Structure 1
Amino acid sequence: MESKKIILIFFIFIFGCSFSQDIEFKYLGGGYNLSYSALRGFNRFVDIYNKDSVKIGGSILDEKMDYLTTPTGKNLAFGLSIGDGILDISYTKRRDECSGHYSIPEEHSRDFLYKTGTLGFGYLLRSDASGSKLELYYGLHLDFSRGKLFTMLTNLNDDWVSVMTFGNFAFTPCAQIFFHPFNGPVFFGARAYWQMNWGKVDFSPIHPHFDYTYAADVTKPLKSSGGNIGIMFQVFVNPFKIKLPERKIEPDVPVLADVNLSGLVKDAGTNAEIGEATIKIEKFHEGQYIEIISTKTGTGVGSYEVTLPRNARYRISVEAFGYDKKSEEFELNDYSPQDYKKDFLLPKFQVGQTIVLKNIYFKKASAELLSESYPELDKLYKFMNMSPTCEIEIAGHTSSEGNDDYNLKLSQDRAQSVVNYLKGKGIADNRMVPRGYGEKMPIADNDTEEGKELNRRVEFKILKQ
């Protein structure tokens, strides 16, 4: 009854530790066990058996029987880390053999085989002397053993015959070392222990296998508890520390917002803002610039604002009527500011500079302006209105179709029509000089329709600023 209470208290202690702290897998492994076993009951039998008076079948023992003292075998162990300790569960198998030899009248021997299996539950505490490479633990095991004893007469070619089976339990103080020679899931261990068997085993069932009969006072010492001390050499693995090839995961990179590009378009001479300037933005792609955005500044206001993606090369072109066009290349990357400022100062047309008026249309073979021409002429009007001292020449040109006199008169009439339109908008007549040049000043080849179309044009030239 007392032994059952002790066992119960031991298990309550172990499982109490398990549920009160974090549990983590520690190891799974095995090894080889060497031990010295004091099977005192059996070995006392050997002492009696080895006496000269022992005879078996008329044969006298001439080589004494050895003790069963050094059982060896394999060990399996499983461990869970619980706080600063380890819950260790192990199973160990051991075996040992001994024999006595006879020579008269014929040679034979009596052999004994001892087998045992031990299931143990223990709790080991980590020592303060432990390091990262070498861990030291000490603790107590409760071991349950089951042993078997076999015998055989070799001269009769017998098989092993079971003599007896017995069970026992023991309290086993032990010390455990874990050695981690390298970083990884595999490590090594060694355990020293002293297994103190609690119950006594009666080895007197050996008697019926021999002719010799023992007196009661001789057989009494055959009942004994015994125990063993030993050492285990082990190899462990923690499969949860096995590093599998990791799939490379790119770190989350913050997505940078697009850049807000803004600025002002101003007159380089007066620093006044230029309204209705055209801003064209092109993106460099596969060796060339491709237009992606076209916008304008407001009426009388020179500001603009666009949003552009990062990590690209751009070209921005700014033009306004009456001013020279300006272009600039730049690049936006991850280091560019969120708000990117870029102002443009446009110089006015200079004296002597000639500018072609785009999209000016007349009726065929006539000086009558078509309404499609008004937007471009309105730009010229605004330029003249903002430059009150500017004087210009309006020049008309034709292709080589028709005779020279006809073309000269047609170009003069068309130049006059432009002057009349501007005069009607309020520009003083003395600030404009109409002049027809006919076909005398071509800018393209008159042999093609495309060339002739380019030569039919109206220009204005700055005479005075």
Structure 2
Amino acid sequence: MKFMTKIITTLLLFISISISAQNPKAKEYYDKALKNITEKKSVDAIENLFKAIEKDSTFTDPYFKLGQINEVARNQENAIKFYSKAIELRPNDPLLTQGYTYVGTRLLRAGNYAKAKEYLSFSIKNVSANSPIMKQLTRQLEQCKFGEQAQKNAFELIAKDLGAKINFKNKQYFPVVSPDNETLIFTARSDDGDENLYISYFENGQWSIPKSISEQINTPDNEGTCSISADGRTLVFTSCDGKNSLGSCDLYISKKIGNDWSSPQNLGASINSPFWDAQPSLSNDGRILYFSSDRQGGYGRKDLWMSELNEMGNWTKAINLGTTINTAYDEVSPFIHANGRTLFFASDGHLGMGGLDLFITESKLNTYSKPENLGYPINNFEDQVALFIAADGSKGYYSSNVNNNIRLFEFTIPKQLNDKFKRANYVKGIVQDASTNKNLSAEIELVDLKTKTTIQKVISDAVTGEYTAILPNGSQYGLFINKKDYFFKSLTFDFLEKSDADGKKINILLDPIKKDAKTILNNIFFDSGKVELRPESFVELDKLQLLLKENPSLQVEIAGHTDDIGKEADNQVLSEKRAMAVADYLIKKGVNPANIKTKGYGKTKPLVANSTEENRQINRRIEMSIL
């Protein structure tokens, strides 16, 4: 009865229309219904409205009033039925604007853009300028126009259900896939509402039976909506009303060492609030966290926020991503692609097809580009929320409602979407001591050699020695493996012109700093036939200078090597001068000249046969050895 009283109270605010019925008895029943509404006698009001219709089925007013009653009661099917009948009886009547607006809004939500535009166009002509309803209708008509155009520009997208093995419960959602496309983590909900995280591995061409990710993580509380670093060793997930919660839903973190996950810890007040904090997305190195929150201080209902892990290992106070991303409505389910620059998210505030649509934006120098709708059929009239795109840009993963069940799907990324972001490669392997083959915990640092900025910094697993690094297309990189008391190791990758993406497995053997130890300086560059160092070399040379500064007693030999192209004498001179160029740089940076010896070997000590251009490039090198 309280709910019906609320209905009646709300109806008193509606504009009543009053046009005489052809049947006086029908008009009498209608007037009784209006009196019932005033007296908050809802059941009597509805009964009298139906009696009015029985006496005169062409009497518009009772249909309209029944539409209002059902709108307030949130009975959408009946509201549409009665409003539509009123509009049919008296089309183009401004007094029926509320009905036009309600039906038009539902047509929009059903994806019937043409019909919705017809209804809403009528409404917008009959509401006050600068009113809230005018703003709503203007926005809805823009959505109708956008939806029609998006459907005309549709691209092919064929989705594949991941099958009963993965979709083993009634509800699975928020998938996450490792950079090598071999591990799938997702949230699944039991019939009793308990959410847990599950993991599956791609083996022999198919996904394995999902298992609980860890007894340390899954509990009788809800654990879901997770994100994991590229190396699979930092996990952030959402738990609502969990242990040490600061409010509604909080974010928790767990670390994996060897095969064991640590006990999850609340990420604390720098990230969590007394409000809803959920749907995390970690950068590939686990040092930047994006999430959605409805906390105070935002621009809308739910906004996107971010926090960074500082050099002290603490998360900075979360900051709002700003008005380029966030609107007065909802922005949820952020996903930062492995390339570190492309952010996907869902929003019902940016122009879309109605409801929550998926958008893409690019970050550069902490500035985001204007979000772009991903188009049809990725987006449609329903809510699109969670999207994950593989590092190599080959596959996309999402969840969708199928017959009241939520199932996981995959699809091949269409060219129209692939052209919008850079793909990312991966390098993974094991770091070991070159002498003992003992697995080592070492720092893996990825540096953009063009900009000299550190793109990623991770630590190899202390137990297994495993590491994973992500290298986006579009630049030239140096990968440096550093550990105290060891020579650093460097790898070089030139992805300036690369458009596809793949992965490599490279095991790293670190040499302890001792006599006769030798390493190749892979990120020292010269133009063909020249002895001047290219600027991309300075990152590695500065690391070498730091190593020699920290070990002032070390005496080293810098050796130059060439391939077999050209005259032997010319190669000998070239190798000597290049070695001297490296030594000169180090000396200018403060290294003791007495600790550096240079030597050129020309073509006399190839590492591989000079049979291909790739092999010759390997033989053109600078080496350093301890004397």
TM-score w.r.t. structure 1 length? 0.31
More strand as a share of residues: 1
Which of 1 and 2 has greater Rg? 1
The structure showing larger relative contact order (alpha-carbon pairs under 8 Å, at least 6 residues apart) is: 1
